[in-house]
Amino acid sequence: MNLRVLWFVLLGVLLAGYAVLDGFDLGVGILHPGARDDRERRIFMNSIGPLWDGNEVWLVTFGGALFAAFPEAYATAFSAFYPAFMILLCALIFRAVSMEFRSKRDSRVWRRAWDGAFFLSSLTAAVLFGAAVGDSMLGIPLTAAHEYAGGFWDLLRPYALLVGALNAAMFAMHGAIYLHLKTEGELQRRVRRWMWHSFGVFLTLYLLTTIVTLIRVPRAIANFAEMPWLWGLVVAEVLALANIPRSLYLRRSGQAFVSSTAAIAALVALFGAALYPNLIVSSLDPAGTLTIANAASSQRTLGIMAFIAAAGLPFVLAYTAIIYWVFRGKVELGKFSY
């Protein structure tokens, strides 16, 4: 396989890994206001306590890999989305420290303030990620020199916000299913209701987004004609989505979690299928469009990085598996908890 295509796919894998793993983290944050007392709030935070940091590394590595493999796209996207990235950074910082700081003091005001920060930052990050995907689907105004020619408000389009809302709903659903695995008793019964509600919201937004995408972004399915096997992704997506209510009904939350994981991964893959071979589409000057050809690093660098990835990936998967195995089971609050 062509190295540029390989790195397009690997970036998709990193993004999917991030969406699946940090997705439930952010979802737990979005659902956090639903916790009724201090113990429940701590259970929520500690359900992701040992894991969120490792999950966020997927985003960091995605950023690093984008920088390395497609520096033109990294430079253009990050400078174009400047204010959005600053807000995202702010959200990620507050999310990290709100978990770290919250339970360190016994003051009610202190804890409520960090609870609020945890919720808001999780929601903001989820919406911004979705909006970034929406803007990538629509394309952004770029000059022939690949420089952004719009302003902040050009990015806050209804479609981008719709995808933002879809992403938040998807993460909330994923987070609810995750929490169901991690909680017990009365709390778990409430979480069960949230799974259904968030699935309903997600499904509605999903159908709406699909329809709007087909109307607004006809380019999105252009690749399907040439590569009919992409329809397999659509089938996988539909099957995964359909299996969520089925397993919820059958009370198999483990299977529901696997299904929502598959649904998120398939959605990221469909996003990739819609973009390919573009990375960032210019809505202004077609010469401004960044593709895997004109944005890529040299073949040598892509080859070195493929080697680094091949050498490192088995370790990464091993660590991830070990950590999830060590921290399996229901949340127990102990002296090492947040």
Partner 1 sequence: MTLDPVVLARVQFALTVMFHYLFPPLSIGLGALLVMMEGAYHWTGDEEWERLARFWTKVFAVNFALGVATGIVMEFQFGTNWSTYSRFVGDVFGSALAAEGVFAFFLESGFLAVLVFGWDRVSKRAHFFATVMVALGATFSAVWIVIANSWQQTPAGFALVAHHGVMRAEITDFWAMVFNPSSVQRLVHVMLGAYATGAAFVASVSAYYVLKGRHGNLARKSLALSVLFGAAACLAIPASGDTQARTVARTQPAKLAAFEGLYRTQARAPLSLIGWPDDARRETRFGVAIPGLLSFLVHGRVDAPVTGLDAFKAEDLPPVAASFLLYHAMVALGVLLAALFAVSAWRLRGGRLFGDRLLLRALVAGVGAATAANQLGWCAAEVGRQPWIVYGLLRTKDAVSPSVPGRDILASIVMFGVVYALLFVLWLGLLDAKIRRGPEEAEAPRPGGFLGAAAELADPSGGSLTGEEEGR
**CB of residue 81 vs partner 1: minimum separation in angstroms?**
8
**CB of residue 160 vs partner 1: minimum separation in angstroms?**
18
* Torsion of Cα atoms, 288 then 209 then 118 then 113, to 10°: 110
Site string for partner 1, 59-88 (x = CB under 8 A): xxx-xxx-xxxxxx-xxxxxxxxxx-xx--
* Nearer residue to partner 1 within complex by CB, 152 or 231: 152
* Nearer residue to partner 1 within complex by CB, 194 or 338: 338
* Under rule CB under 8 A, residue 105 binds partner 1: yes
**CB of residue 220 vs partner 1: minimum separation in angstroms?**
25
The size of the interface with partner 1 (CB under 8 A), counted in residues, is 71
Residue 107 token pair? 């003051």
**CB of residue 283 vs partner 1: minimum separation in angstroms?**
15
Burial pattern 269-305, b for ≥16 Cβ within 10 A else e, equals bbbbbbbbebbbbbbbeeebbbbbeebbbeeeebeeb
Roughly how many angstroms between the first and final C-alpha of the chain, as a whole number? 46
Non-local CB neighbours of 195 within 8 Å, separated by 6+ positions: 173, 176, 177, 180, 248, 253, 256
CA 190 to CA 308: how far, in whole Å?
A: 45
* Nearer residue to partner 1 within complex by CB, 24 or 202: 24
In the list 286, 304, 330, 333, the residue contacting partner 1 (rule: CB under 8 A) is 304
**CB of residue 290 vs partner 1: minimum separation in angstroms?**
10
* Under rule CB under 8 A, residue 116 binds partner 1: no
* Under rule CB under 8 A, residue 97 binds partner 1: yes
